[in-house]
């Protein structure tokens, strides 16, 4: 240890640091060799699971759609039940449509994950659900000797495919955040500790409420400009170099012909569906009512996406708000 003549308190501090570094080393090593269960191989989850496999993780996979077994044969070991995923995994990641699905998979029935997971297993839910459900599920997990983090994502299908997602993590403590991060880092580039369990969902529904509002605003703006005769590319370039600039304009512009990679250039196919945006707005409005927060623009956005979904835009990307508005009289 070098100079053995150091003062006792300095030696104690040095040994403490060495032990801390050792614990972190073994924790990282354990994560690198852990088996990761992944339940939910949809537009987002499939890419996320594939990135785990690309980074040399042993992945155990399941989806309600058995046809995906062939599609993801190169990703990992397919299991026909979530119970078998739980039995064979040290970490379990879920990426499901709604809170009801999360509860069904994790906690309801004899085949649920909670009934079969290894003691001390880390459960990471990357679905977008309401904060109350995340906290309820976490409490159930802890009573059974399991760990739970909520870790919803931002970055869309492109971010999932590229492994550049942002994860908003709600964790019981910093140690469990670090444990979750050791797996999440292979699927995203920005892993944010949002505080206690459920706070990841708080961050996510706030972000998506703002995204809906901004997308409708950009759609209205582009539609107005086009109807008044300005070239849409010129208008977009002005917006993107002015105070109206935002992600919905400079990266995901809803007007066709502006951003080559945006869903607007493929008839709004793929991407983040309007029905999913409506679901997330519903979560935000429910949370707003519970907390007595005023969200007038969020409420109006929910109404607009509700009308869009009833008019045939449910499976179109949420940027189809532009097409909906441009066709409205």
Catalytic residues: 204
Which distant-in-sequence residues (6+ apart) come within 8 Å of 306 by Cβ? 278
CA distances from 271 to 71, 203, 251, 261 (A): 20, 21, 13, 11
19 vs 34: CA distance, rounded Å: 22
Helix (H) or strand (E) holding 84: helix 82-87
302 vs 216: CA distance, rounded Å: 11
255 vs 239: CA distance, rounded Å: 13
Q: Return the structure tokens found at 115.
A: 């009934």
Q: Is 22 exposed, middle or buried (0-12, 13-18, 19+ CB in 10 A)?
A: exposed
């Amino acid at each position: 240890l070098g100079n053995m003549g150091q003062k006792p308190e300095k030696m104690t501090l040095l040994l403490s640091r060495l032990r801390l570094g050792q614990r972190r080393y073994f924790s990282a090593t354990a994560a690198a060799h852990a088996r990761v269960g992944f339940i939910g191989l949809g537009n987002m989850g499939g890419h996320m699971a594939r990135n785990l496999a690309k980074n040399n993780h042993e992945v155990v996979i399941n989806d309600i759609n058995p046809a995906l077994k062939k599609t993801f044969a190169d990703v990992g070991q397919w299991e026909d039940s979530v119970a078998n995923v739980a039995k064979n995994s040290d970490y379990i990641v879920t990426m499901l449509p709604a809170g009801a699905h999360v509860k069904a998979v994790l906690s309801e029935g004899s085949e649920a994950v909670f009934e079969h997971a290894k003691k001390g297993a880390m459960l990471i839910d990357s679905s977008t659900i309401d904060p109350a459900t995340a906290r309820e599920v976490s409490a159930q997990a802890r009573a059974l000797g399991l760990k739970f983090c909520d870790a919803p994502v931002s970055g869309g299908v492109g971010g999932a495919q590229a492994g550049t997602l942002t994860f908003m993590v709600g964790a019981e403590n910093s140690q469990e955040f670090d444990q979750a991060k050791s797996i999440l880092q292979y699927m995203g580039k920005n892993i944010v500790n949002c505080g206690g369990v459920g706070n990841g969902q708080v961050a996510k529904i706030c972000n998506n409420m703002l995204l809906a509002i901004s997308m409708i605003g950009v759609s209205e703006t582009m539609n107005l400009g086009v109807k008044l005769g300005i070239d849409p590319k010129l208008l977009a370039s002005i917006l993107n170099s002015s105070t109206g600039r935002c992600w919905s304009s400079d990266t995901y512009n809803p007007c066709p012909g502006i951003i080559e990679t945006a869903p607007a250039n493929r008839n709004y196919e793929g991407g983040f569906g309007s029905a999913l945006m409506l679901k997330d707005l519903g979560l935000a409005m429910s949370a707003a009512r519970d907390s007595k927060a005023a969200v007038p623009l969020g409420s109006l956005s929910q109404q607009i996406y509700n009308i869009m979904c009833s008019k045939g835009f449910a499976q179109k990307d949420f940027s189809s708000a532009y097409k909906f508005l441009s066709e409205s009289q």
